Amino acid sequence: MTTKKISCASSPFIVRRTAATLAVAVFSCVLTVGAAAQPARWLDPAQDINNLPRDGSILFWSGNQQIAGFRNTALLSPVRHINRGDYVKTLPAAPRDLSGVSYSIEGQQHSLQDFMQHNHVAGLLVLKNGEIAHEAYGLGNREDHLWVSFSMTKSVVSMLTGAAIADGYIGSVEDRVTDYLPQLKGSSYDNVRVRHVLQMASGTDWDENYADPQSDVATSPNDMLELMKFMGSKPRVAEPGERFNYNTGETNLAGAIVRAAIGNNLAAYLTEKIWKPYGMESDATWISHGPNAGELGGCCISATLRDWGRLAMFAMSNGVLADGTKVLPDNWMSDSTQASPGSNNYGYLWWLNGDGTYRASGIFGQGIYFNPAENLIIVVQGAWPQATGASFAAHRDGMFRAIEATLK
């Protein structure tokens, strides 16, 4: 493949956040890569470089632009690198027949193949008892391709917060945010606890309306220091812990808290605490606030499908490595997946289903479904034509439940 020069107006990279209901850090860039292709849904990865988006928000990419962009975020934005080690955790193959999987949407039955097509799935991995029960790819993806995760990354930040507590860098979730981010002293974040940020319940005003170009998430600065000033200028609209308000800006603060506590970058901490020792198979990347800046706490680790499966297994084991080393506090995952006072379906940056199952979720169809009681994990990577949508979510949830019922 011939590599063409990629450049962005006025700086090496431009990173711009905007929003969607469930999550988002987005980036836009002007690329010198030739004309955009017409939309297509089965892109040959060898053609990615010819289809990378020329400009505009990621929310409005389509077809080949979307697929090429999701597969190549490191070509579009500054990133920090997450490195694999020498040890690779084996995922044994134990294929299960899912040809009979069927779910109903508005009275119409759909198969697993219907789901793959309808939801524009790039990868589907089903792990049962730590073994690969099913693995499938679409949109030209292969097992060695990275794919952007969007807000699934928030749940990783939750686990890194737990690791920092276990290591003694953070005292507890009851610590004040301003203990780690003193720039916020004298703002509405006074007396806000780390727990409140993880629950998206600081009580600070925030508008996550992606359709409004004047919303907070559309106008907030990318630079981390400027973002903290922006966040600190917002008024308090509720007492901390009382009201859930989905807030991508605040999850960037969650990442900044961990960085400040550990004195290092999140990608380096993730590498040494989880990625290498748990046995991830491939390197990964994490979009940053700019060249030489820290990572977005709210978005955008790019990793392979199987490594997301391994990371999910790490989470469901409560952060215990193969040698018995405990990376997370004893009750971290159970605490993280308990309903918060402000929301019955949100914990510490995890979505809760109210029945013991829970999810990591990102826009455009990214997700991990956890059923600890059944030792079941389902990972999905996708390219929905729009950031969110009731029909896509219904098919996703129907597929989760149908696979779950089949493998019981």
* Domain edges within the chain: 102-152+265-406, 159-259
The CATH number given to 159-259 is 1.20.58.710
Classify 129 in phi/psi space as left (phi over 0), alpha (psi -120 to 50) or beta. left
Q: CA 90, 92, 93, 98 torsion: positive or negative?
A: negative
C-beta separation of 363 from 151 below 8 A: yes
Number of Cβ atoms within 10 Å of the Cβ of 239: 13
- The DSSP symbol for 349 reads S
Q: CA 219, 224, 229, 234 torsion: positive or negative?
A: positive
Asked whether the whole model's pTM tops 0.85, one would answer yes
Q: What is the pLDDT of residue 208?
A: 84
Quick check: helix, strand or coil at residue 45? helix
- Calpha distance 27→56 (Å, rounded): 8
Q: CA 142, 144, 150, 156 torsion: positive or negative?
A: positive
Q: In tens digits, what is the pLDDT along the chain, a chain of 408 residues?
A: 333 333 222 222 223 333 232 233 333 322 222 222 333 456 788 888 888 887 777 777 888 899 999 999 999 999 999 999 999 999 999 999 999 999 999 999 999 999 999 999 999 999 999 999 999 999 999 999 999 999 999 999 999 999 999 999 999 999 999 999 999 999 999 999 999 999 999 999 998 876 677 888 778 888 888 999 999 999 999 999 999 999 988 999 999 999 999 999 999 999 999 999 999 999 999 999 988 899 999 999 999 999 999 999 999 999 999 999 999 999 999 999 999 999 999 999 999 999 999 999 999 999 999 999 999 999 999 999 988 899 999 999 999 999 999 999
Edge-to-edge, what's the strand order for the sheet holding 284-287?
79-82, 284-287, 301-303, 147-148
Classify 36 in phi/psi space as left (phi over 0), alpha (psi -120 to 50) or beta. beta
- Calpha distance 20→345 (Å, rounded): 18
Number of Cβ atoms within 10 Å of the Cβ of 342: 19
Structure tokens at 113: 């193949």
- Calpha distance 226→213 (Å, rounded): 19
Number of Cβ atoms within 10 Å of the Cβ of 402: 21
The CATH number given to 102-152+265-406 is 3.40.710.10
C-beta separation of 335 from 321 below 8 A: no
